[in-house]
Amino acid sequence: MKQLRGIQWLLLGLLSGSIALHLSLVSHSQNTDLMGSSILFWLAIAALVFKKRSNLNLNSDVFSIGLGAFFVLLVLIKSKFLIGNDIFLRLSPFISTLGISLIASGIHRLKQYWRELALLAFFTIPPGLVSLLIDLSPLTAKFAVFVLWCLGFDVSRQGLLIHLPKGSIEVYAGCSGMAIILQLLGLALIYLLLCRTRFRQKVWVVAIALSLAFTINGLRVALMAVLVALSNQSAFEYWHVGNGSLIFSTIAVLSFGTFCNFLIPQSDEP
């Protein structure tokens, strides 16, 4: 019993250290979007592990322990040389958690941690890569023009260019909203893994995540077009790359959370 408790404390220390190391690296990268997502995903991982802590089979083997230790050490060593590397910051949580899982239960019992590994596998997806494969810029530009037209602005569109009488903006792939879409899809995945839902509810959760992310980003693009037309460069920079961009992200997260809490009946976790 004491030996099992000692193993549990060792694994808890490894997981806590991995979380602390990753969040420290993210904070040094000054990527506020990634920091928010990292905290949410790590909280979900901790909640999943805590709920099933008494049912985990902590029985590994020498090969699995060696392989797991290699993964954990690999992340630790690479952390000294890849500070600020976005790909590494997204990939390292999966590698370190996979290593800890191997140390804890062995390669044949990894299915115990499929939810945690699935979450962190999704976390590895970089928005920039997805934007290269799925370009939502034309659709975002059309939606922003529609919003401005509904509000009574004299607006027109030429491809990705949104024209107002006193200024124009171009909707690049980085402004298409892929980052916020992946953020809300990640939240949807967390919710579906933590809570028991019927198939129809799963569809609604994903659909609402996509719709909210696209709509709120489209409103942000419309606002930036108005600011350019007003020649307010400082306000444009604030809402484009400054802290103002985080406000829209926060609104999206809170709106999605409200939907999950009040519009979908809660039930026991899976």
Predicted confidence band at 80 (pLDDT cuts at 50, 70, 90)?
confident
What confidence score (pLDDT) does residue 19 get? Answer: 92
Q: Would you say 81 and 34 are in contact if contact means Cβ atoms under 8 Å apart? A: no
CA dihedral angle for residue 48, residue 38, residue 185, residue 170, rounded to 10 degrees = 180
What confidence score (pLDDT) does residue 6 get? Answer: 62
Cα separations in angstroms, 64 against 7, 55, 93, 94, 153: 15, 20, 18, 16, 63
Domain boundaries defined on the chain: 2-124, 130-262
Give residue-wise pLDDT tens across range 154-186: 888 888 888 888 888 888 877 788 888 999 999
How do 167-170 and 156-158 pair as beta strands? Answer: unpaired
246 vs 40, more confident: 40
Give residue-wise pLDDT tens across range 203-226: 999 999 999 999 999 998 998 888
140 vs 228, more confident: 140
